[in-house]
Structure 1
Amino acid sequence: MRRIDVIGIGVGIFAAGGLAYLFFKLVGLDTISAGIWSQTLLVGGLVGWLITYAFRAVTHTMTYNQQLKDYENAVLQKRLEELSPEELARIQAEIEQEKQGKAED
């Protein structure tokens, strides 16, 4: 995310708080109650976002983790494509041998 995107999101959240305040004032709440309810909405939104962030961090589904996984898969695929048929056959034989060894245990 670019710096300008973060600034835009911050301004948008600030504006949303102001709009929520105005909405509550129009609904008929007094100034203090409208301020409390608009702050409650913003804090609730922040807590909700933090919960989703923590969930993505714990489950490793964040953008960086996905990019790293894609990169590792691309590197392994490139190495696999660079193997000669003989090397590939040897590796496949080793894998089959390991599978049979694990099946016997």
Structure 2
Amino acid sequence: MRRIDVIAISLGIFAIGGITYFLFQAIGFDGLSAGVWSQALLVVVVLAWTLTYLFRVANKDMTYNQQLKDYEEAVLQKRLEEMTPEELEKLQQEIEQETDNP
């Protein structure tokens, strides 16, 4: 996630908090109760958002991990393309030997 995305999401959460406060007041809550409930709702939303982040970290489903995987695959593909036909045949034989003799 880029820095500008985090800023936009933070501003969005702040705006949602204000809108929620006014909605609770429009429903009939007094100012103090509307503030408490809108703040409680925002805390729940932010905690849920944080938990989704921690879940992605635990599953290694982050942008950095994906970039690293893509880079490794590109390097291996480039090495494979640079190999001569003899080297490819030798590699194929080694792979077959490894699969036959686990």
* 1:73 counterpart residue number: 73
Please, what TM-score do these two structures have when normalized by structure 1? Answer: 0.89
Aligned alpha-carbon RMSD (Å): 1.3
Could you tell me how far apart the structure 2 residues matched to 1:2 and 1:26 are? 36
* 1:40 counterpart residue number: 40
Could you tell me how far apart the structure 2 residues matched to 1:64 and 1:70 are? 10
1:7 CA displacement? 2.8
Higher RCO (Cα < 8 Å, 6 or more apart): 2
* Distance verdict in 2 for CA 1:101–1:4, change over 3 Å: closer
Please, what TM-score do these two structures have when normalized by structure 2? Answer: 0.92
Gaps of 5+ in 2: none
Equivalent residue pairs, number: 102
* 1:9 counterpart residue number: 9
Gaps of 5+ in 1: none
Could you tell me how far apart the structure 1 residues matched to 2:5 and 2:94 are? 50
1:3 CA displacement? 3.8
